[in-house]
Structure 1
């Protein structure tokens, strides 16, 4: 027997009813919990679908060029420095922006230097948010200096100092759906990022990379960074 389009059309409704009758009742369908990452992607997809094709094209172009813009901005700030400060600058960095994170790669202008020949300078905090007390102050297995303060109410900030004396040092920051900008801390290039109530500041002083992270709002975290006193030998 030859199946025709008319026969399919005639029995389509009956086939639909048979298929629907095999489905479980609505109250027996299990509730599925999706990961936060999946939900963020869905919200992002919905936003993109609500935009015009022209807007989506512009946003894609901006994302593709974001890394270049940040790198240009970083080196522009370097160009605004005085000649003496520029000569003293021994570390450059490159920023690469991806969908979910931003990668920083720091390069020493003196890669032949041995890390054992460099020493992390002593520092002190000129400003500490009220209620914060020091709970850790140590040297990590990689030779970085780690300091952490907490206030007992889930508030904290932590500073990591790392020497870029062996040619290269890297850091990765979660920048998916975050607020970020490029600026300066006490005349040095700096990157600022805020997401989910926590902020990060990364900047360079000589051959030292500073990474400050915590729950204080970005303005207060900037104040902590700007008030850090560095004691040179």
Structure 2
């Protein structure tokens, strides 16, 4: 054996095993960025063109958003035909009627007390050119029945309503919804084990919500800490979990 030996190319490459690293998933990265670009474009387009305020305040049948621009004082959506809201004309009103209105005179009285018109925007309550307003609203049953879902005033009777999510919802519909929910609850309650589970969830929903919130916050903090000090954070988590699992010795 001599001191000087000729090393082959393969033997020389064994000492230099590190190779320059580079991105090998350009296609996946491109598709991922393209997906996010399309997602951001769709979200921006929907936010600008779609007017998300309509979901909160609602809109009338003419495309106006209640509580915005010219209708900033008309916050609530009201249907002229409460019995058939799908085909009814929707209007933005200042206030929902809190009690039943059984005649046009009641509608006029509600307007004089609250300045909230339940009729179409082009219906002029203050016009007295033809006859006094009191006489205009004292109509017979045939004239009252001629009111349709398109106006000019709501079909009678106008049921008492409550404002829910800026919508005038008839109290009768609310009561029916509550009765339906009560029926479902009674049906579920007929099964004793399931009833106990639901009762426990209802009674402890605050504690469950607090625990879930604390767990989520702790998970984010742990992930953030582990990113910087992985070793210390791992030992800290193990220590805290071990201490938490140590319970009182119930053995006598």
TM-score above 0.5, yes or no? no
TM-score by length of 2: 0.19
More helix by share: 2
More strand by share: 1
Higher CA-based Rg: 2
Determine which structure has greater relative contact order: mean sequence separation of CA pairs < 8 Å that are 6+ residues apart, divided by chain length.
Answer: 1
